[in-house]
Amino acid sequence: MAGLRSTLHHQLFVGAELDGHLTVLNRLLIVTIILAVASAALSTEPTIPKGWHNVLVIGELVFGVIFLLEYIARIYAAAEEPGEESSWSKRWRFIRSPIGLIDLIVVISTLVPLVTADAAMLRTVRLLRVVAVMKFGRFSRAITEVWAAVANRVDDLIVTAALAFVFILLGATALYMTEGHIHPEAFGSIPRSLWWAVMTFTTVGYGDVYPVTGLGKVFASIMALAGVAFVAMPTGIIAAAFSEAMQRRRDQKIEDMRRHLARLDEVDEEVEAKIAALERANKPHP
């Protein structure tokens, strides 16, 4: 049983192999969670035939059993966590931990809809399990690197956001002055014009509000063209920062490999010295 518990701990808690990839069990759990969420979304469609609805209900039951077994397995394997506490203390610590509470909520969100008619919203809580599972392995490193890249360029992003706000405010003011007397319900004040300015600047352009005067169309064209440039600016900043983070990671890997090779050279020299000493000891004395 100790071997089974150790295997479950590696698969569920360590969650990653030496190369950084997720364990097989965690990969299967991610697929199961996605299928469960998709099933929950489909079950809210009223036009689904009754036969398929019954299939979804059976799927809900299967997913519920899988998540319940996973929760029990995690509690059982939590005893393998490092520390001087007793096995049950470690298990209780896991149950009270954020990940343990997420697991419990997921089990409840999967099984409760089987006994109550309107719990579709609760089912979507399973998405939290994706976050919990993906905290392991290479996913956590990738997310950390993305956040680090954003943090390194936060000043540039703040300046870009400030410029965008100023430009949106200027566009809203210009449309208020040129279109306010024609469309007071849409451009009768600067706050009203801000809705149009934001939609135009972000290139969404719902088309529910638009200028009709020549000068208003000129300002609208400038806003639309500037929006393309301003939306691309933070994307380029983040992309450049992320590229630098990836380069630092590659450099770190190269440095780690060099240190590892240096240690191997030291080990080789030590082994050669021991072999030489043994050979000298085995030689008969004259």
Q: Do 264 and 215 reside in the same domain of the chain?
A: yes
Sign (positive or negative) of CA dihedral 110, 112, 117, 118: negative
CA 224 and chain centroid, separation: 32
Top pLDDT among 15 and 46 is at 46
Q: Is the pLDDT of residue 250 over 80?
A: no
Place of tokens 């996973």: 70
DSSP state of 204: -
3-state helix, strand, coil in the chain (%, to 5): 80, 0, 20
Q: Is a pLDDT exceeding 50 seen at residue 148?
A: yes
Looking at the 3D structure of the chain, how many domains does it have? Answer: 2
Over residues 254-260, mean pLDDT: 79
168 and 244 together in one domain: yes
Confidence at residue 136, expressed as pLDDT on a 0 to 100 scale: 47
| Residue 187 contacts residue 268 (beta carbons within 8 Å) | no
DSSP string, 22-43: BPHHHHHHHHHHHHHHHHHHHT
Whether residues 101 and 199 share a domain: the answer is no
Mean local confidence (pLDDT), 150-154: 79
**Nearest-angstrom CA–CA distance, 208 and 16:** 50
> Quick one: 113 and 228 in the same domain?
no
Of 222, 214, 216, nearest to 193 by C-alpha is 216
Whether the per-residue pLDDT at 215 is higher than 80: the answer is: yes
Tokens of 29: 């759990």
More confident residue, 130 or 26: 26
Q: What's the DSSP call for residue 134?
A: T
Higher pLDDT, 265 or 119: 265
Q: Dump pLDDT digits (tens) for 91-140.
A: 898 888 877 887 787 777 777 666 555 555 555 555 555 555 554 444 55
Which CATH number does the domain housing residue 90 bear?
Answer: 1.20.120.350
In a domain? residue 146? no
CA atoms within 13 A on the CB side of 16: 13
Q: What span, in angstroms and rounded, lies between the C-alpha atoms of 37 and 58? A: 14
Pair (266, 164) in one structural domain: yes
pLDDT for 90 equals 87
Q: Indicate whether 120 and 155 sit together in one domain.
A: no
Looking at residue 140, its pLDDT comes to 56
User: When comparing pLDDT for 149 and 178, which is higher?
Assistant: 178
Residues 6+ apart with CB under 8 A from 55: none
213 burial (CB, 10 Å; 0-12 / 13-18 / 19+) is middle
pTM here is 0.53
Q: Provide the 3-class DSSP secondary structure of residue 16.
A: strand
pLDDT value at position 267?
66
Main-chain dihedrals φ then ψ at residue 22, nearest 5 degrees? -65, 150
Question: Hey, is 49 helix, strand or coil?
Answer: coil
- Report residue 109 as tokens: 């969100």
The pLDDT of residue 17 is 59
19: pLDDT strictly greater than 60: no
Q: What is the pLDDT of residues 160-211, one digit of tens each?
A: 888 888 888 888 888 888 888 887 887 888 888 888 888 887 767 666 677 8
> How confident is residue 8, by pLDDT bands cut at 50, 70 and 90?
confident
The answer to whether position 284 is within a domain reads: no
Most confident of the following: 41-50, 220-229, 246-255, 258-267: 220-229
Give the pLDDT confidence score for residue 137 in this predicted structure. 47
Q: Give the end-to-end CA distance of the chain in Å, rounded to a whole number.
A: 60
| Higher pLDDT pick, 149 / 137 | 149
> Does 253 reside within a domain?
yes
Q: Which range of residues forms the domain containing residue 51?
A: 2-135
Task: Establish if 267 belongs to a structural domain.
Answer: yes
Of the candidates 158, 167, 121, 152, which has an alpha carbon nearest to the alpha carbon of residue 239? 152
Confidence of residue 235 (pLDDT cuts 50, 70, 90): confident
pLDDT at residue 2 above 60? Answer: yes
The mean pLDDT of the chain is 76
Task: Report pLDDT digits (tens) over 42-69.
Answer: 776 778 888 887 888 788 788 888 888 9
Q: Are residues 161 and 259 in the same domain?
A: yes
CB-based contacts of 35-44 (< 8 A; 24+ apart in sequence)? 35/59, 35/63, 36/60, 36/63, 36/67, 36/110, 36/123, 36/126, 37/123, 37/124, 37/126, 37/127, 39/63, 40/113, 40/120, 40/123, 40/124, 40/126, 41/124, 43/113, 43/120, 43/123, 44/120
Angle at 111 between CA 108 and CA 113, to 5 degrees: 105
